[in-house]
Amino acid sequence: MKIAIFFGCSSYEHEISIVSSIAMKDVLKHELVYIFCDQHRELYEIPSSTIKSKLFSSGEYKKCDKVTLQKGGFAKKSMFGQKEIAYDVVLNLTHGGDGEDGVLASLFEFYGIPFIGPRVEACSVSSHKFLTKGYAQSVDVKTIDYAFYTKNDEIKVDSFPVIVKPVRLGSSIGVSIVKSQEELDYALDVAFEFDDAIIIEPFIANIKEYNLAGCVINGEFNFSIIEEPQKAEFLDFDKKYLDFSRTSKALEADIDETLKEKIKEAFKKLYNTLFIGSLIRCDFFVVDGEVYINEINSIPGSMANYLFEDFNTLFTSLAQNLPKKKAITINYEYVNKIQASKGK
């Protein structure tokens, strides 16, 4: 199987998309084709044999073959015109904007490109923290209390500490823990640099956090182990950045079966049928034995490979069982009836 990894794009998480994609060389036992989208949305085919992070920071990637998007896939210039780039399935590994907000999903679906990743509706829910909260509550999954504000709102916080988050960003970008009124203005300035809307949640010290990844294949859920991430006040960008290059296996959390089942049940409710065709990771909080969703990662760093015992087999099975769009037949029956009734 030949996998086309699509990465980069116009995103605050552009660089971690690069790191995440390079890590796939050590994870997937398939032939890989790398399609890089730069910040100007120009496409390039990057040879898998020479791909490295410096290629992008130096701008050397511009020496690689330019690529165009077309019906069914990708093409590049050749001696006799255009040459199609061979692949079996695309892995959308573009974190943040373009990749997780639905832009690429729309393009891939429009051009009939088979891909692993969240579809448009799933992107809408998972890429916007305010919408994630509402979706979770609608499928009976608990969320931490929150307040939603836009840039022009009057923002009042009555009790500290709180955590301030831009609604459309991942990887802890723009996130601040605020412990006093004096710190709030600065935290708001930081968050609004990245987004025009935020949520504010109470910050709960020493909260238990657990991560679970999985997907549905042929109607059956396939789960990873449940991981308890490293202890810190919260996982900032630098700590999370390392996650995007992870390939070594994580350790399973030491929790009882009752809690494991609660976490899995919450995952099932969130994945539902909305995320079919994608492998996601859900980050949960546990407070007094109750499970709360913190975040839905619709394109997790390094595809959360480190949480699975046999990621390559799971990935292959998912790639071979992607959802298919129902073909719509257009026969112009309605238009013809109108024309007939007018005698034309």
The tokens for 241 are 């950045």
In-domain check, residue 128:
yes
Same domain for 14 and 100?
yes
Same domain for 221 and 310?
yes
Edge-to-edge strand order for the sheet containing 176-178?
147-150, 197-202, 162-166, 176-178
Q: Which helix (H) or strand (E) holds 149?
A: strand 147-150
Same domain for 112 and 222?
no
Tell me which residue of 125, 123, 121, 109 sits closest to 322, measured CA to CA. 109
Same domain for 108 and 23?
yes
Same domain for 78 and 182?
no
Q: What is d(CA 104, CA 9) in angstroms, rounded to the nearest whole number?
A: 10
In-domain check, residue 268:
yes
In-domain check, residue 344:
no
In-domain check, residue 214:
yes
Same domain for 14 and 110?
yes
Same domain for 59 and 162?
no
Specify the number of domains making up the chain.
Answer: 3
Same domain for 304 and 176?
no
Same domain for 108 and 60?
yes
Contacts of 26 (CB under 8 A, 6+ apart): 247
Same domain for 238 and 279?
yes
Same domain for 187 and 271?
no
Domain boundary, last residue among 179, 202, 225: 202
The tokens for 4 are 């086309």
Same domain for 193 and 235?
no
Residue 293 belongs to what domain range?
124-140+205-319
CATH code of residue 162: 3.30.1490.20
One digit per residue, the tens of pLDDT, for the chain of length 344 reads 999 999 999 998 999 999 999 999 999 999 999 999 999 999 999 999 999 999 999 999 999 999 999 999 999 998 888 999 999 999 999 999 899 999 999 999 999 999 999 999 999 999 999 999 999 999 999 999 999 999 989 999 999 999 999 998 776 788 999 999 999 999 999 999 999 999 999 999 889 999 999 999 999 999 999 999 986 555 454 554 455 556 688 999 999 999 999 999 999 999 999 999 999 999 999 999 999 999 999 999 999 999 999 999 999 999 999 999 888 999 999 999 988 887 65
CATH code of residue 73: 3.40.50.20
In-domain check, residue 343:
no
pTM of the predicted model as reported, rounded to 2 decimal places: 0.92
Query: What's the angle, vertex CA 75, arms to CA 69 and CA 78, rounded to 5?
Result: 145
In-domain check, residue 333:
no
Q: Is 81 left (phi over 0), alpha (psi -120 to 50) or beta?
A: left
Tell me which residue of 168, 159, 200 sits closest to 298, measured CA to CA. 168
